[in-house]
Chains A and B, each alone.
Chain A
Amino acid sequence: SQQGEEDPQALSIQEGENATMNCSYKTSINNLQWYRQNSGRGLVHLILIRSNEREKHSGRLRVTLDTSKKSSSLLITASRAADTASYFCATVPSGTYKYIFGTGTRLKVLA
Chain B
Amino acid sequence: DAMVIQNPRYQVTQFGKPVTLSCSQTLNHNVMYWYQQKSSQAPKLLFHYYDKDFNNEADTPDNFQSRRPNTSFCFLDIRSPGLGDAAMYLCATTLNGTSGRYEQFFGPGTRLTVL
Contacts and interface: CB of A to CB of B under 8 A. Distances in A.
Contacts of B92: 42-43, 99
Contacts of A95: 99
A97 B90 contact: no
A99 B33 contact: yes
A92 B103 CA distance: 10
A94 interface: yes
B50 A98 contact: no
A35 B6 CA distance: 19
The size class of the interface chain B forms with chain A is 20 to 34
Contacts, number: 71
The size class of the interface chain A forms with chain B is 20 to 34
B68 interface: no
13 contacts: A3-B42, A31-B101, A35-B106, A42-B106, A42-B108, A43-B92, A48-B102, A96-B100, A97-B31, A99-B104, A101-B44, A103-B42, A104-B42
